[in-house]
A and B are shown apart, each in its own frame.
Chain A
């Protein structure tokens, strides 16, 4: 262990130190002026962003190979930092409005972000577990941030119990993998798997348990039961951050573990992944049809998107399509991140205290009274659906086409059909916004409006020129995985 090890993880060290520093500084910031903490934490995130991008083209390895910073980590770290920035932009006015303004929100968000980043750096199962907990524990607290509000507290406890339950699965799975091979670092396990010097039964059960654990984290059906409740009960900015960050981190870990450690087991795992992806797409989209609360609707939509993302894993054993599929997944994650934050910004603009303003009926008349918000929301919903020329369309297009190339055309067909189903509930919101008379009440705060504006602009521009983002995703993978 020497200084160059710390050089590789500078952004992470900086972020954690900055969060602790802010926790202290926050004590001297008077209540009612917590905007200063928000600005300081946003500044910290921007510095971390610069630090992440500084490494440029090189691949850094540190701590005897247990940390690897490559293009994949950089791409996802940028995604997480941008999510955290959006999480702060959405939170400040919201917390003030609901009387929840406490400075701890921001340091907790930073610590959770650092956990997500560590997840993409991890090259050892010990670190995967640590990163999982580092990102989850602050999120449990954030989910219950609206204290004395029973829904938020319940959401927090449910998230906590289910989160710890899933960590238990991951941990036991890691234990079995260690038992089967005697290693916890990725290269060691991969080598043992190649030589065949392992106990295949334990190894397979271990891999299955790890998959189950991360399935809980990323809300795959049948491990999704917690997510609508938690998404509904948690404060909206936290939900937005959770639905992008925690999900993307779960997929990042799955991707690393499966591609690097378990490539030889694709024969056994591919049918399982296939079934999970198909089930998640079906259940997520079909249950979303009957939701009348916008937060629950977005929760089920986010479950459905997990299904699409999982589609990228199915051909992972096939080396010729693998990198295309992963690039497709990174592209989809970026598109999902932009669209989700935009949509949640609109939800937050309409939300009022005590969970009012969250029914679909509350959106009636939005198109006439607030054309800007209604237009951005329409863009996001169209992008979620995957209507051509939006960013969401290209995301689905790349995923489906790699699935077909990998020989899983049935899965692509299911994806297409479920997208058609999803058009019904997404477009229903658009119809309510424009066709029904009503007097929606909107809080016109600057930061949420800016978030939705930037999101909509990005979705439209990148939808016209998706090549830019795809090139970034592909070049991220060229630097190795």
Chain B
């Protein structure tokens, strides 16, 4: 491998932190959702990197599972957002305040 493994690790850590910040700071539910996917993909990067590093297949198989699960989550999440948009005409998280807390 030409590129040292630590580079991949740092890149994935950066992606993960961007994802966390996105979830915590952005107020649009869709952008929050994209940030969540970023967190998942940061983990995927780790799996692929170290599957190659250790020369085992487990990591790559894990990535397939993660992608499938993420797709299932997208289906449910988008359906929820559409349902809320129909009732409220907004998916701004700051306006989600009919429950105190």
Contacts and interface: CB of A to CB of B under 8 A. Distances in A.
Interface string A214-242: 00000000000100110011000000000
Contacts of A167: 40, 73
A36 interface: no
Interface stretch (A147-155, A272-280, A344-352, A379-387): A147-155
B33 A161 contact: yes
Contacts of B39: 165, 168-169, 171-172
A292 to B, nearest CB: 11
Interface stretch (A85-93, A179-187, A319-327): A179-187
A160 B59 CA distance: 26
Contacts of B49: 179
B83 A171 contact: no
A172 B99 contact: no
Contacts of B43: 168, 171-172, 174-175
A126 interface: yes
Interface in B1-59: 9, 12, 16, 19-20, 23, 29, 32-33, 36, 39-40, 42-44, 46-47, 49-50, 53-54, 56, 58-59
Contact of A160 (B44, B47, B62, B76): B76
A182 B54 contact: yes
Given A140-B80, A161-B33, A178-B46, A229 B23 contact: no
A153 B99 CA distance: 11
A159 to B, nearest CB: 9
Nearest to B44: A175
A183 to B, nearest CB: 7
**B interface residue count range (under 10 / 10 to 19 / 20 to 34 / 35 or more):** 35 or more
B83 A172 contact: no
Given A168-B43, A171-B40, A178-B50, A144 B83 contact: yes
Contacts of B81: 157
Interface of A: 126, 129-130, 133, 137, 140-141, 144, 147-148, 150-151, 153-158, 160-161, 164-165, 167-169, 171-172, 174-176, 178-179, 182-184, 225, 228-229, 232-233
21 contacts: A133-B69, A140-B80, A141-B80, A150-B84, A150-B87, A153-B80, A157-B80, A158-B96, A158-B99, A160-B76, A161-B32, A168-B20, A171-B40, A172-B43, A175-B42, A175-B47, A178-B47, A179-B9, A182-B56, A184-B62, A233-B99
Given A130-B69, A182-B53, 16 more contacts: A126-B65, A130-B65, A137-B76, A144-B83, A151-B99, A153-B88, A154-B99, A158-B96, A165-B36, A169-B39, A171-B40, A172-B43, A178-B50, A178-B62, A182-B56, A184-B62
Interface of B: 9, 12, 16, 19-20, 23, 29, 32-33, 36, 39-40, 42-44, 46-47, 49-50, 53-54, 56, 58-59, 61-62, 65-66, 69, 72-73, 76-77, 80-81, 83-84, 87-88, 93, 96, 98-101
